Amino acid sequence: MSLSISLTVNGKPVDRHRRTASHLLLVQFLRDQLRLTGIHIGCDTAQCGACTVHVEGRAVKSCNMLAAQADGMNVTTIEGMSKDGQLHPMQAAFKECHGLQCGFCTPGMVMSAAVLAAQSSGFSETEVREQLDGNLCRCTGYHNIAKAVLQGAEAMKAGA
């Protein structure tokens, strides 16, 4: 069965009339139909966080949500984080602090970290590690990721 859905992705309206399978996951819709391949598929079980996007300002694992559930909503992917050619402060912090190694988890980490920073007035490195528990990195040991999140949060606060 195919559905019609309309949503806003990275600030642009997207309409799919009778072209979206009712069982299509949001991650598949974004990657396969919209070609937003910054979203990664890591586990298909909502355990790793590589597919994290923002839905109505909340960090959501897009492998755990149907595309039809996003009908009428605002979705932001890693591709939509930068504005006017400038990296989002969290993206810039990950780059400056080398909060990545292979980079596979990085888009999901940045997306989760940006929401965390926007919702908190301040936190410690330990709290960052606890809050990012649902995002897995197999390479870095999280030291530079935590450092990047703290720096990104400060930059976001300064720009607000």
All structural domains of the chain, each given as residue ranges with its CATH number in brackets, are 2-80 (3.10.20.30), 89-159 (1.10.150.120)
Q: Residue 42: is its pLDDT beyond 70?
A: yes
Whole-number pLDDT of residue 139: 84
- List the strands of the sheet with 74-76, edge to edge: 12-21, 2-9, 74-76, 52-55, 58-61
Q: Residue 28: is its pLDDT beyond 90?
A: yes
3-state secondary structure of 58: strand
Whole-number pLDDT of residue 54: 98
Taking the C-alpha atoms of residue 84 and residue 11, their distance in angstroms, rounded to an integer, is 13
- Name residue 55's beta-bridge partners: 58, 75
The pLDDT tens digits for 86-130 are 999 999 999 999 998 888 889 999 999 999 999 887 888 999 998
Sort 64 into a burial class: Cβ within 10 Å, 0-12 / 13-18 / 19+: middle
Please, what sign has the CA dihedral across residues 39, 43, 45, 49? negative
